[in-house]
């Protein structure tokens, strides 16, 4: 499958549509089951706080996956992402309430590469806190 975005139609600075993802405790429980990562800091508030965390925190890979959705939605084909990497810079606390936490993700084309590929820099934040650093995806465009 080919990406829906055409290489000739994007320039450095082209912004991807921003998205906001609400993360609730139920999402973390589902992710525990899907990933097999049952680390207690992702579901037990008492233990999470005892080890110095502000609350139960989202899995890093869950946060990374949500941020990656901005790129795959924009490209129109998840298979168009040929490289993706991040550094985790801050935890994503998830309170035990009906509101959860809002993860706001933005992206922009940072470079046009050879072979109809582009590098997209991703900005992921909870409030003003940047939770991913050096977040970049390389996307194969049509």
Region 108-133: mean pLDDT is: 98
User: Does residue 104 contact residue 124 with C-beta atoms inside 8 Å?
Assistant: yes
C-alpha distances in Å from residue 82, one per residue of 53, 76, 119, 122: 34, 14, 10, 15
Query: Does 117 score more than 80 pLDDT?
Result: yes
User: Does residue 3 contact residue 139 with C-beta atoms inside 8 Å?
Assistant: yes
Query: Does 17 score more than 70 pLDDT?
Result: yes
Which fold, 7-140? Answer: Thiol Ester Dehydrase; Chain A (3.10.129)
Region 122-142: mean pLDDT is: 98
pLDDT of the residue at 16? 98
pLDDT of the residue at 79? 95
State pTM to two decimals: 0.93
The DSSP annotation for 67-127 comes to HHHHHHHHHS-GGGEEEEEEEE-S--B--SSSS-EEEEEEEEEEEEETTTEEEEEEEEEET
- The model's pLDDT over 27-52, given as tens digits with 9 standing for 90+, comes to 999 999 999 999 999 999 999 999 99
- The model's pLDDT over 49-98, given as tens digits with 9 standing for 90+, comes to 999 999 999 999 999 999 999 999 999 999 999 999 999 999 999 999 99
pLDDT of the residue at 3? 76
pLDDT of the residue at 35? 96
C-alpha distances in Å from residue 44, one per residue of 24, 90, 95, 102: 14, 19, 11, 20
pLDDT of the residue at 2? 62
Confidence of residue 1 (pLDDT cuts 50, 70, 90): low
C-alpha 117/C-alpha 34 separation (Å) is 31
Nearest by Cα to 98 from 11, 32, 49, 25: 25
pLDDT of the residue at 57? 98
C-alpha 88/C-alpha 86 separation (Å) is 6
Kindly report the number of other CB atoms within 10 A of residue 72's CB atom.
18
């Amino acid at each position: 499958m080919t990406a829906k975005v055409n290489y000739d139609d994007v320039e450095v600075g082209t912004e991807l549509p921003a998205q906001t993802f609400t993360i609730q405790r139920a999402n973390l429980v589902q992710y525990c089951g899907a990933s097999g990562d049952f680390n207690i800091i992702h579901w037990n508030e008492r233990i999470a706080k005892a080890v110095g965390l502000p609350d139960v925190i989202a899995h890093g890979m869950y946060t990374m996956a949500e941020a990656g959705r901005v790129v795959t939605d924009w490209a129109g084909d998840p298979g168009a992402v040929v490289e993706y990497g991040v550094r985790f810079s801050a935890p994503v606390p998830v309170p035990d309430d009906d509101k959860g936490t809002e993860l706001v993700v933005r992206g922009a084309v940072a470079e046009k590469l050879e072979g109809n590929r582009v590098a997209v820099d991703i900005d992921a934040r909870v409030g003003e806190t940047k939770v991913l650093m050096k977040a970049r995806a390389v996307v194969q465009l049509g």
